[in-house]
Structure 1
Amino acid sequence: MIDLITDFLKNVNSLEVNMTNSMFRLILSMVLGMAVGAERKRKGQIAGIRTFTLIAMGSCLAMLLSIYVPQVYLGLKNGDPGRIAAQVITGIGFIGGGAMIHMKGAVRGLTTAAGIWMTAIIGMAVGIGMYFISIGATILILLTLVAFEHYEKKRGVGQVSKVISLTAGGILHDIGDYRKVFADNGIHLSTYYVEYNYEKNLTELNFVVLAHAYSNLLPVLEAIGKVNPTLKLTLSSQLDI
């Protein structure tokens, strides 16, 4: 039994590519890719467990090929064993670009794209036999994604300004009810602008609020519209004054 374990560890840590270390590295890259993919799937990202797993395994296999080719074809003295691995870094950019979405002036998916790139690097590190570094890097990625998310929410990092503009009937001198709506929905009111139209008996309000770029503000708009008789209600990313 001890001899089997010794032989297994010897094959796994061998610098040459063999069946044992190849399968071990592919399985390890699969597990590490699944770990990162599970976190992204938890956040509702399109690129989830399967995508990250395939990226990690594919990068690992590419690294194995980079080692195996010069190992078998010893006559290729001018060959570059790192060429295949280098192309992985270039090619993974296309997948990362596909994970990003540009919508209404905001770019979504940057973290997922960075995670895809990092997962490819981890797969390559596993493929070359850097097991502990690969596992440590995966743990650091998960800590970054989870811990920093709570920090950003707590400190308000990652929030953007949104402008809620409305035209209400009557001359409004108190916006306390609007403040309450924002407070009840966890929205920070940064500042506001008021313009009165005494001729038409209307009040125009522009609320500048801080919210996460992809927060659903529709319930907030609905609640605001019920505070006073509202003739017009709009949401935009910038104030036009």
Structure 2
Amino acid sequence: MSSFIAPATVTSERDLVEFSVADGEPVDPRAPKGYSERYIHSEIFKRYPAVQAVIHSHSDAVVPYSISGVPLQAAFHMAGFLGDGVPVYDIAKFYRPQDKRDLLVRNIPLGESLAVLFGSRLDAEPEHAAVLMRGHGFTVQGSSIMDAVMRAVYTQQNALIQTTALLTHSAHFRAPLGEQSQDDQDMDPESSEPTYLTKEEAADATEMTLWSGGRPWRLWLREVESQSLYVNMA
């Protein structure tokens, strides 16, 4: 992982810290300071051997779905991996008396309690690609770096699309009666909602991204290479 700097400012291996999956501690005791939430990553890797990459994000587009009670669901074809709902991790249920109440996953017990939400069976393939974290953000896992990055990007895009759909739906069905069609007036706005991917659509869309993901991935690589923000001295 990156040392205690903004990940986008990593320029070489000197800015990286290697941690042990077993305990989340630096392999080299002389390593520079690392992130306190490394236990998010170590505990997911420990529980699910098939996972090869973990990404944690504070996306402000996603956070509302961690606190509103509105489930984040697959709203478009590139986010089929979200299925019909993403688990929400509420860290308040797992604090120990000595833990800081700052919502950070600072230790093994908290990391383990988060990792469990990805799947109920130890050492099995994770059942969920993403888990929301109340008032904090979200975490995704993947079978490769590309897989995890795509899931992180499309989780955020799905949240933006779903929010727009919910706002549009609410504005339309709650318009003054004189501005609604007869069909709209006959429809109960409380029982209707935006149309999300079905279980079958979500499964097939997830499979589709496995063979089509190389196209956006190569574009993103090119965008990073052309940005002066990113410096690669490796």
**Category of TM-score, reference length = shorter chain:** under 0.3
TM-score computed with the length of structure 1 as normaliser: 0.23
Give the number of the structure with larger relative contact order, counting CA–CA contacts within 8 Å between residues 6 or more apart: 2
Structure richer in strand, relative to its length = 1
Larger Rg: 1
Structure richer in helix, relative to its length = 1
